[in-house]
Amino acid sequence: MSSASNANFDLQQFIEQESSKSMLKFITCGSVDDGKSTLIGRLLYDSQLLYDDQLEELKRDSKGLLSDEDELDFSLLVDGLAAEREQGITIDVAYRFFSTAKRKFIVADTPGHEQYTRNMVTGASTADAAVLLIDARLGVSTQTRRHAYILSLVGIRHIVLAINKIDLKDYSESVFDAIQTEFLSFSDKLGFNSIYAIPISALKGDNITKGSERMPWYSGLAILPYLETLEPDTKDSDQFRFPVQWVNRPNLDFRGYSGTLASGEISVGDEVLVAASLKRSRIKRIVTMDGDLPSACAGDAVTLTLEDEIDISQGDILHTPGEPLERSDQFQAHLIWMHEDPMLPERSYLIRIGTQVTSVQITDLKYEINVNTAEHLPATKLELNQIAVCNFATAHAIAFDPYSENIETGSFILIDRISNNTVAAGMIDFGLWRGQNLSWQAFEINRESRAKLNGHKPAIIWFTGLSASGKSTIADIVEQKLAAQNHHTYVLDGDNFRHGLNKDLGFTDADRVENIRRVAEVARILADSGLIVMTSFISPFRHERRMAREIAGDIEFIEVFVDTPLEVCETRDPKGLYAKARRGEIPNFTGISSDYEAPERADIHLDAGHRTAEELADEVIRKLSVDR
């Protein structure tokens, strides 16, 4: 054993070598049985990155899985989840780490099945390059085209075309040439900067870490040497972007803005602007625990302090003069739907872009993209794994860059408001108009003055419940009682609405969402004019009731759940609708063939099965006067 000082000397060299290594993140993709996991297992094995205990486990697990007793099933190293081992497929992104003397690698192994397109997009979103596998026996497949298209969409610029299982085609040069030619014939439209084709056998180890003697006709590099030398084109913008993650206030004397530089660089004394307010100041200090810095660049996590006290909060983005972000409440973007529940236009989602979070609606689904052919198709909704171009409208103007210019400030995710699942990923193409040109006109006579004139505050009373549950009947009585107290009222009724404003809408889920959105907007306008507005709509979805509440803004919003059991409603059936629905004559009928999502926390919950409409209306009135 060397002495301590010797060890320190060796270590210095070692650490210098380690810290000078560059990092390459790549993704492997291809069809189901093209051998991705085997390739990664082979890379780890051949670059001697497996530990003895991992190798022992592999030998134990490989027994009986391959025809050749002594061969190892490398895919077992990578397919970590028990379900994958049972099914023999990769269902999620697995991240693997390895390093050679020249470089460190993070590889994302992603699933091949079409139903896991979202996982591939996930893996690709952080990759510099892609290894796209093709089975030499099958050639370019539909999945190959799809994966190539998705890689180009996400902005991957470098493709390694690994033509695998070439051993099963007798290491044939003509097979390799034919596949390469076919791939290039459609990939030239996809905007890759480089495509490097390599004939390999992941199972046998040909052209993985070193050139194969079995293919003397191939003069290029093996996969690992190629990945070691690939210099990815940097797609990072050099414009300064600093999304504020946290306002750092340890005491009254210090106010700093913490975050990571998304792009560009900044020095003490530089002038900066807040994207939302265009307020200006200069960088006073760049603070870190290891002492102040004179400057910082992309990727650095720092705390900035400014010369002036200007209003900045979490979600704001700082930039430099002359290099503004786009700022708008409407934009066009490519969207990849990632959830089993379909996307419904007009439904409200949360959008997270950088450190900004706000509500967003898809105002126009312009077209879906067939990922196998890149064709544009008309669409009314998006299902899991579908890709589309859409227009979006956010509740507040947001600051962004086009994705092609800056990935950090041009990418976003959509979040479902109820389940909180990540339901989609998006890449902004461009802003549609500048939101600041469109603002609310302020009038002298406002809601407060109208309330004074009327002698009562406005409100929206939102009745929800099954068809024939008694919503309209109760609303009618409530209105009479309010009118008797000299209150100004109006009832918006489902059936009446569909005769007029909403006569263009049907009863699909998407149309129901739009129906409720319009009702909520009208209710808001009427309430703003001073009325107590009652709405009587089935409004079966929690999402839309929440949307209605949000549209109401600071107007008082009272959700009344008319909780009448389905059997009771069906017995009443004043319009014979339940009978028709039971006979299958009305599709999408709530309670029969379409879900009613009962409110979890209604403001007023009416147990309506066994009481008269008069009693129930009194209960609403009582609650109203208590609350007001």
Kindly list the catalytic residues: 539
What are the residues whose beta carbons fall under 8 Å from the beta carbon of 103, sequence distance 6 or more? 21, 22, 23, 24, 227, 228
When asked if residue 126 is in the footprint of other proteins (CB under 8 A), the reply is yes
When asked if residue 24 is in the footprint of other proteins (CB under 8 A), the reply is no
Which amino acid, one-letter code, is at 464? T
Q: How far apart are CA 576 and CA 366, in angstroms?
A: 39
Q: How far apart are CA 448 and CA 431, in angstroms?
A: 35
When asked if residue 513 is in the footprint of other proteins (CB under 8 A), the reply is no
When asked if residue 405 is in the footprint of other proteins (CB under 8 A), the reply is no
- Answer for which of 82, 252, 442, 484 binds other proteins (CB under 8 A) is 82
**DSSP-derived 3-state class of residue 18:** helix
Residues numbered 319 to 338 that lie near other proteins (CB under 8 A) are 338
Q: How far apart are CA 237 and CA 166, in angstroms?
A: 40
Neighbours of 402 (CB within 10 A): 18
CA-only gyration radius of the chain, Å: 31
Work out how close the CB of 307 gets to other proteins at its nearest, in angstroms, rounded to a whole number. 18
- Answer for which of 64, 250, 294, 500 binds other proteins (CB under 8 A) is 250
H or E segment and range at residue 541: none
Q: How far apart are CA 273 and CA 577, in angstroms?
A: 60
Work out how close the CB of 82 gets to other proteins at its nearest, in angstroms, rounded to a whole number. 4
Q: Which stretch binds other proteins (CB under 8 A): 323-331, 347-355, 491-499, 610-618?
A: 347-355
Closest to other proteins by CB, 79 vs 563, is: 79
Closest to other proteins by CB, 413 vs 505, is: 413
Closest to other proteins by CB, 159 vs 414, is: 414
- The DSSP bridge pattern shows strands 265-267 and 246-251 to be unpaired
- Answer for which of 352, 481, 546, 582 binds other proteins (CB under 8 A) is 352
When asked if residue 65 is in the footprint of other proteins (CB under 8 A), the reply is no
Work out how close the CB of 49 gets to other proteins at its nearest, in angstroms, rounded to a whole number. 10
Closest to other proteins by CB, 140 vs 244, is: 244
Q: How far apart are CA 572 and CA 588, in angstroms?
A: 20
Q: What is the 3-state secondary structure (H, E, C) of 170-186?
A: CCCHHHHHHHHHHHHHH
When asked if residue 415 is in the footprint of other proteins (CB under 8 A), the reply is yes
| Angle formed by the axes of helices 142-154 and 173-187, nearest 10° | 50
Work out how close the CB of 304 gets to other proteins at its nearest, in angstroms, rounded to a whole number. 13
Q: What are the strands of the beta sheet with 241-243, ordered from one edge?
A: 241-243, 317-319, 271-274, 280-287, 301-306, 254-260, 246-251
Work out how close the CB of 461 gets to other proteins at its nearest, in angstroms, rounded to a whole number. 26
**DSSP-derived 3-state class of residue 620:** helix
Closest to other proteins by CB, 262 vs 492, is: 262
| Angle formed by the axes of helices 613-627 and 471-484, nearest 10° | 50
Would you say the C-alpha torsion 35, 424, 389, 379 has a positive or negative sign? Answer: positive
When asked if residue 77 is in the footprint of other proteins (CB under 8 A), the reply is yes
When asked if residue 509 is in the footprint of other proteins (CB under 8 A), the reply is no
- Answer for which of 18, 495, 595, 614 binds other proteins (CB under 8 A) is 18
Q: Which stretch binds other proteins (CB under 8 A): 72-80, 224-232, 531-539, 587-595?
A: 72-80
When asked if residue 101 is in the footprint of other proteins (CB under 8 A), the reply is no
- Answer for which of 101, 289, 442, 626 binds other proteins (CB under 8 A) is 289
- Answer for which of 46, 401, 408, 514 binds other proteins (CB under 8 A) is 408
- Answer for which of 22, 97, 455, 585 binds other proteins (CB under 8 A) is 97
When asked if residue 303 is in the footprint of other proteins (CB under 8 A), the reply is yes
When asked if residue 350 is in the footprint of other proteins (CB under 8 A), the reply is yes
When asked if residue 484 is in the footprint of other proteins (CB under 8 A), the reply is no
Work out how close the CB of 470 gets to other proteins at its nearest, in angstroms, rounded to a whole number. 31
Q: How far is CA 367 from CA 186, 335, 343, 351, in A?
A: 22, 11, 13, 21
Closest to other proteins by CB, 95 vs 217, is: 95
> Which position has the token pair 């560059």?
22
Decide if 533 contacts 489 (C-beta within 8 A).
Answer: yes
Give residue 576's region: left, alpha or beta (phi > 0; psi -120 to 50): left
Residues of this chain that interact with other proteins (CB under 8 A) are 1-2, 4, 7-8, 10-11, 14-15, 18-19, 51-54, 57, 61, 77-83, 85, 91-97, 99, 106, 118-119, 121-122, 125-126, 248-250, 254, 256, 258, 287-290, 301, 303, 338, 350, 352-354, 407-408, 411-413, 415, 419-422, 425
